[in-house]
Structure 1
């Protein structure tokens, strides 16, 4: 990844207006193309351990930089990051590029209630397998565990209060996050190194996706 891509995001953060953006549209275009090239390389590396990822179109994987401000108090018109969803199925991989705040992530976020219940049943019914996946050494090394954002205070109805994986059943999202430094993104072999981090997420994604087959 080019230094200029992160520099663009820094400047956009400081000048988040349509006027500034339109005056620097060519720099945005260059930065976006740089991110697409980076994601293409990353997909190539990830396809070595997850062949389904080879189907992902790098350009289409990127989220729009334009913000929907209709229902937000924050009226800034542009996101100050590049985000890419590298996924085939409900569970997948996510790349977030933002100076000083970049991260890799994976899993499932914001499931509908019926699908959430289905997934919780899968976890409860295969407790040992799930615990082995989230307790695996490389997964713990990079991601630490699953995010507890939005976690319930009690085991949801329909499950035993003393369920062996009750703490996981309280989760509303099944997501893991690994922060990444700017320096790591700018390394020449960054796609290869990031792919190795994503490799430790594959067993989790496989388990989550299997619940909906």
Structure 2
């Protein structure tokens, strides 16, 4: 029982850190919606700043650890739930816990894991380990890579599906983390629901808008 609670606490804490990171990541990526010349200059400067700042590097290491920890402990919890007492895990039926996304977090998580592999390969790896052209300020032109990617309909579709999976994942994860941390109380339940829905829709909508804007621009 204690191990299960510890696992859930790790899931909740890593999940909340990832939620915070998504806000910062989205705010940075919204620069892509600016006029082209401004977007190129600012986004490339932003990317250069992220790759050269020691504090940002430390945060990025925490991010990588959180991603790995979140995925590993999700798998551990799923295995334990499915094998406990030789029975399938009985889902918590309270409020949103019996929704479709709560019953299919494994599928959503798998989609997101595959998405992250593609995302890291196409942008993080390309930026870090390949020779990219530079913009007028001498910064690697990641903006051009992003725009070229999102000029392809199939690539945009993959991202839109992944962001929808992210939205459902966030919605359940937000409520699940609030219960684990003891915030799912009648006194706070309504506020938690409102914040969870607002956050999930804002993050999902923001990320979905960027590929669509670039593709149809």
**Which of the five TM-score ranges fits, normalised by the shorter chain?**
under 0.3
Q: TM-score, normalised by structure 2?
A: 0.25
TM-score, structure 1 normalization: 0.26
